[in-house]
Amino acid sequence: MAPIRIAIVGYGKIAQDQHVPSIAANGSFELVATVSRSSGAPEGVACFGSVEDLLASGPKVDAVAICTPPSVRYDIARTCLDAGLHSLLEKPPGVTLGECEELVRIAAAKGVSLFTTWHAQYNPAVEAAAERLAGKTIDAMRIVWREDVREWHPGQQWIWAPGGFGVFDPGINALSIASKIFPGTLILRGAELLFPANRDTPIAARLDLTSPAATGAVTAEFDWRHSGGEAWNIEVEAAGEMLLLSEGGSHLSVGGQELVAPGHGEYPGIYAHFAELVAGAKSHVDLAPLRLTADAFLLGKRIEVEAFED
Ligand code: NAP
């Protein structure tokens, strides 16, 4: 079968670090163009200033991977879906649930694939944890997601603007893992959001959740004011076992014993799945992590903390 001709829209950190190599390593895809305001593209790949330019004068494309900040994702995705392009969305799929639901409607009407990716879910250890917890009652779950914003988002200003998610930009990765492994719907009960005095998005957050499948506390703590290495851990107590997903969901241990799970890994797994979706013109849409985040902003108590300078 001829490869799926794909364009990357937004040529920033994640496009270069993960999408380009994963597309190159997957024979089902051929990277034929980028759309970039800063003229970014791998050597030999054509670059266009906007999706409209690509559609008007670019090579034929079948699909796009939209790797921009989330606040501009909806308009770009709508243009691509309207043009009949299968569309892969970086996380988070939009800044509101309303935007995402409208994209779902357009993709269905056009008969093309819409894929809301959550890269952390594609860790083999996360899939193994989901299988292990299926059908169980959860006694407690504790999410701790701490990192240094200066290291992970150097100079990125969009993360602090409304719709930039602040600490929920990484925190939503934890919620994407939690909603995948939890054997029941997670529901937000309360939140505290810590906003720097000079910023429009939170630098830290504490969430209190519940679920019909949980008997005890389900909590999450996100913090960007952390130095000396990341802490990206989810601990789950269930049926007398302590399960720990660590290092962003890439490692799983049960009762202190490390388990090795086979699989593609994050972005290779995403592109393997996208190829299957495109082949069947099917969509894969998961809005649970965005819904929990939106609910945290709806329910969250705002607490002002000291100003943050890059
Ligand atoms: P980034 O380095 O800032 O890159 C985003 C790119 O989008 C920019 O370089 C720019 O590329 C393009 N863009 C288009 N419209 C823009 C606008 N209005 N403002 C700013 N940039 C605009 O960001 P990133 O870290 O790659 O993150 C992009 C998305 O991937 C986010 O949703 C993020 O949550 C997700 N993600 C990031 C990581 C990570 O480790 N960084 C990991 C997983 C997922 P051009 O100059 O080419 O137009």
Average pLDDT over residues 110-129: 97
Q: Quick one: DSSP state of residue 148?
A: B
* Residue 103, in any domain of the structure: yes
pLDDT of residue 226: 96
Judge whether 34 and 47 are in contact, CB under 8 Å. yes
Average pLDDT over residues 281-309: 98
Cα of 159 vs centre of ligand 1, distance in Å, is 10
What CATH number did the domain enclosing 94 receive? 3.40.50.720
Cα of 174 vs centre of ligand 1, distance in Å, is 19
Task: Give alpha helix (H) positions in 140-287.
Answer: 149-152, 168-181, 266-279
Please give the C-alpha separations between residue 297 and each of 20, 166, 171, 174, 304, in angstroms, as whole numbers.
33, 11, 13, 16, 15
Q: Which structural domain, as residue segments, surrounds residue 20?
A: 4-116
- Substitution site in 11, 13, 51, 270 for ligand 1 pocket (most atoms within 8 Å of beta carbon): 13
- Whether 58 and 38 map to the same domain: the answer is yes
Q: Is the CB of 13 under 6 A from ligand 1?
A: yes
Out of 95, 116, 137, pick the residue that ends a domain.
116
Out of 60, 85, 116, pick the residue that ends a domain.
116
pLDDT, tens digit, for every residue of 193-246? Answer: 999 999 999 999 999 999 999 999 999 999 999 998 999 999 999 999 999 999
- Whether 126 and 222 map to the same domain: the answer is yes
Rounded Cα distance, 226 and 200, in Å: 20
pLDDT, tens digit, for every residue of 160-197? Answer: 999 999 999 999 999 999 999 999 999 999 999 999 99
* Residue 285, in any domain of the structure: no
Average pLDDT over residues 274-303: 98
Please list the active-site residues: 91
First and final C-alpha spacing in the chain? 48
Judge whether 265 and 137 are in contact, CB under 8 Å. no
Give the CA radius of gyration of the chain.
19
Q: Is the CB of 6 under 6 A from ligand 1?
A: no
Q: Is the CB of 68 under 6 A from ligand 1?
A: yes
Closest CA to 111 of 75, 80, 85: 85
What CATH number did the domain enclosing 232 receive? 3.30.360.10
Cα of 7 vs centre of ligand 1, distance in Å, is 15
Q: Is the CB of 90 under 6 A from ligand 1?
A: yes
pLDDT higher than threshold 90 for residue 310: no
pLDDT of residue 256: 95
* Residue 51, in any domain of the structure: yes
Rounded Cα distance, 98 and 125, in Å: 32
Mean pLDDT rounded to a whole number for the chain: 97
Average pLDDT over residues 22-32: 98
* Residue 276, in any domain of the structure: no
Q: Is the CB of 268 under 6 A from ligand 1?
A: no
pLDDT of residue 262: 81
pLDDT higher than threshold 90 for residue 292: yes
- Whether 134 and 109 map to the same domain: the answer is no
Average pLDDT over residues 77-96: 98
pLDDT of residue 198: 97
Closest CA to 96 of 73, 120, 68: 73
Out of 94, 116, 138, pick the residue that ends a domain.
116
Length of the chain, in residues:
310
- Whether 155 and 298 map to the same domain: the answer is yes
Rounded Cα distance, 112 and 64, in Å: 12
- Whether 136 and 91 map to the same domain: the answer is no
| Ligand 1 atom closest to residue 37's alpha carbon, by position in its atom list | 48
pLDDT of residue 261: 80
User: pTM of this prediction?
Assistant: 0.96
Q: Is the CB of 291 under 6 A from ligand 1?
A: no
pLDDT higher than threshold 90 for residue 1: no
* Residue 55, in any domain of the structure: yes
Cα of 9 vs centre of ligand 1, distance in Å, is 9
pLDDT of residue 264: 85
* Residue 287, in any domain of the structure: no
| Ligand 1 atom closest to residue 39's alpha carbon, by position in its atom list | 47
Beta bridge partners of 231: 146
The number of domains in the chain is: 2
Q: Which amino acid is at 197?
A: A
Closest CA to 141 of 127, 157, 130, 151: 130
pLDDT, tens digit, for every residue of 33-76? Answer: 999 999 999 999 999 999 999 999 999 999 999 999 999 999 99
Ligand 1, atom 45, lies closest to the CA of: 36
**φ and ψ at residue 173, rounded to 5 degrees:** -65, -40
* Residue 277, in any domain of the structure: no
Rounded Cα distance, 166 and 21, in Å: 27
Q: Is the CB of 74 under 6 A from ligand 1?
A: no
- Whether 83 and 142 map to the same domain: the answer is no
Ligand 1, atom 20, lies closest to the CA of: 69
Judge whether 255 and 235 are in contact, CB under 8 Å. no
* Residue 274, in any domain of the structure: no
Q: Is the CB of 91 under 6 A from ligand 1?
A: yes
Token pair 């719709």: residue: 163
- Whether 162 and 102 map to the same domain: the answer is no
- Whether 110 and 149 map to the same domain: the answer is no
- Whether 51 and 136 map to the same domain: the answer is no
- Whether 140 and 193 map to the same domain: the answer is yes
- Whether 183 and 106 map to the same domain: the answer is no
Cα of 8 vs centre of ligand 1, distance in Å, is 11
- Whether 93 and 222 map to the same domain: the answer is no
Rounded Cα distance, 80 and 112, in Å: 10
